[in-house]
Amino acid sequence: MKLAGLKSVENAHDESVWAATWVPATDTRGALLLTGSLDETVKLWRSDELVPERTNTGHCLGVASLAAHPSGLIAASASLDSFVRVFDVDTNATIATLEAPPSEVWQLRFNPQGSTLAVAGGGSASIKLWDTATWDLVATLPIPRPEGPKPSDKSGSKKFVLSVAWSPDGKRLACGSMDGTISIFDVARGKFLHHLEGHFMPVRSLVYSPIEPRLLFSASDDTRVHMYDAEGKSLVGVMSGHASWVLSVDVSPDGAAIATGSSDTTVRLWDLSMRAAVQTMSNHTDLVWGVAFRPPGGSGVRAGRLASVSDDKSISLYDYS
Partner 1 sequence: MACLYIPVQNSEEEVRVALDQLPRDAADILDILKAEQAPLDLWLIIAREYFKQGKVEQFRQILEEGSGPEIDEYYSDVRYERIAILNALGAYYSYLGKIETKQREKEEHFILATQYYNKASRIDMHEPSTWVGKGQLLLAKGDVEQASAAFKIVLDGDRDNVPALLGQACVEFNRGRYSESLELYKRALQVHPDCPAAVRLGIGLCRYKLGQFDKARQAFERVLQLDPENVEALVALAIMDLHTNEAAGIRTGMLKMQRAFEIYPYFAMALNYLANHFFFTGQHFLVEQLTETALAVTNHGPTKSHSYYNLARSYHSKGDYEKAGLYYMASAKEINSPYEFIFPYYGLGQVQLKLRDFRSAQLNFEKVLEVYPDNCETLKALGHIYVQLGQTEKGQEFMRKATKIDPRDSQAFLELGELLISSDSGAALDAFKTARGLLKKGGQEVPIELLNNVGVLHFERGEFELAEQTFKEGLGDGIWLAFIEGRENFQEIAASESIHQYKDVQFFQQLQDSGRQVKLPWNKVTTLFNLARLQEQLHNPETASILYRLILFKYPDYEDAYLRLAAIAKARNNVQLSIELVVHDALKVNDKCPNALSMLGELELKNDDWVKAKETFRAASDATDGKDSYATLSLGNWNYFAAIRNEKRNPKLEATHLEKAKELYTRVLLQHPANLYAANGAGVVLAEKGHFDVSKDIFAQVQEAASGNIFVQMPDVWINLAHVYFAQGNFALAVKMYQNCLRKFYYNTDSQILLYLARTHYEAEQWQDCKKTLLRAIHLAPSNYTLRFDAGVTMQKFSASTLQKEKKTADEVRSTIAELENAVRLFSHLSAASNLHFHGFDEKKIDTHVEYCKNVLDAAKPHLEAAMREEQQIRQRQEVARQVALAEEARRKAEEHRKFQLERRKQEDELKRVRLQEEHFQRIKEQWKSSTPASKRRERSEIDDEEGGNSEKRRRKGGKRRKKDKSSKSRYETEEVEAEMMDDQEDPEDEDANLSYRDLASQNDQDDAEENAHDPLAAAGLEDSDAEDEAVPSTNTGRRKQAWSESDDDEPPERQPFSRENSPELQESDEEVREDGHKPNGNAAAEDED
Considering the complex, state which of residue 14 and residue 169 has its C-beta at the smaller distance from partner 1.
14
Site size for partner 1 (CB under 8 A): 62
Rounded to whole angstroms, the Cα distance separating 6 from 284 reads 14
What burial letters (b/e) apply to 214-223, b meaning 16+ CB within 10 Å? bbbbbbbbbb
- Angle at alpha carbon of residue 18, lines to 14 and 20, rounded to 5°: 105
User: Judged by CB under 8 A, which of 168, 170, 241, 253 binds partner 1?
Assistant: 241
Residue 275 as a binder of partner 1 (CB under 8 A): the answer is yes
User: Judged by CB under 8 A, which of 51, 238, 278, 303 binds partner 1?
Assistant: 238
Of 23-31, 168-176, 241-249, 295-303, which part binds partner 1 (CB under 8 A)? 241-249
> Using DSSP, how many helices (H) and how many strands (E) does the chain show?
1, 28
Maximum Cα–Cα distance across the chain: 59
Residue 283 as a binder of partner 1 (CB under 8 A): the answer is no
Rounded to whole angstroms, the Cα distance separating 84 from 235 reads 33
Residue 122 as a binder of partner 1 (CB under 8 A): the answer is yes
Minimum CB separation from partner 1 for residue 91, in Å? 25
Rounded to whole angstroms, the Cα distance separating 307 from 295 reads 11
Residue 16 as a binder of partner 1 (CB under 8 A): the answer is yes
Considering the complex, state which of residue 77 and residue 265 has its C-beta at the smaller distance from partner 1.
265
Residue 245 as a binder of partner 1 (CB under 8 A): the answer is yes
Residues forming a β-bridge with 34: 21, 44
242 contacts 287 by C-beta, under 8 angstroms = no
Of 21-29, 128-136, 240-248, 252-260, which part binds partner 1 (CB under 8 A)? 240-248
Rounded to whole angstroms, the Cα distance separating 10 from 121 reads 32
Other Cβ atoms less than 10 A from the Cβ of 71: the count is 13
Residue 217 as a binder of partner 1 (CB under 8 A): the answer is no
Minimum CB separation from partner 1 for residue 64, in Å? 6
User: Judged by CB under 8 A, which of 55, 97, 144, 200 binds partner 1?
Assistant: 200
Query: In angstroms, what is the C-alpha Rg of the chain?
Result: 18
Residue 104 as a binder of partner 1 (CB under 8 A): the answer is yes
171 contacts 193 by C-beta, under 8 angstroms = no
Residue 242 as a binder of partner 1 (CB under 8 A): the answer is yes
Nearest to 164, CA basis, from 128, 123, 120, 122: 120
Residue 152 as a binder of partner 1 (CB under 8 A): the answer is yes
Residue 199 as a binder of partner 1 (CB under 8 A): the answer is yes
Rounded to whole angstroms, the Cα distance separating 68 from 66 reads 7
Residue 26 as a binder of partner 1 (CB under 8 A): the answer is no
Rounded to whole angstroms, the Cα distance separating 32 from 26 reads 10
Q: Where are the alpha helices (DSSP H) in 15-145?
A: none
Considering the complex, state which of residue 25 and residue 309 has its C-beta at the smaller distance from partner 1.
309
Minimum CB separation from partner 1 for residue 202, in Å? 8
Minimum CB separation from partner 1 for residue 175, in Å? 13
In order of 7, 19, 242, 300, 303, the CA distances from 44 in angstroms are: 15, 12, 29, 20, 20
Rounded to whole angstroms, the Cα distance separating 135 from 157 reads 28
Residue 263 as a binder of partner 1 (CB under 8 A): the answer is yes
Chain residues 73-102 in contact with partner 1, contact rule CB under 8 A: 80-82, 101-102
Residue 45 as a binder of partner 1 (CB under 8 A): the answer is no
Residues of this chain that interact with partner 1 (CB under 8 A) are 15-16, 18, 38, 60-62, 64, 80-82, 101-102, 104, 106, 122-124, 151-152, 154, 156-158, 160, 162, 178, 180, 196-201, 221-224, 228-229, 232-238, 240-245, 263-265, 274-276, 286-287, 311
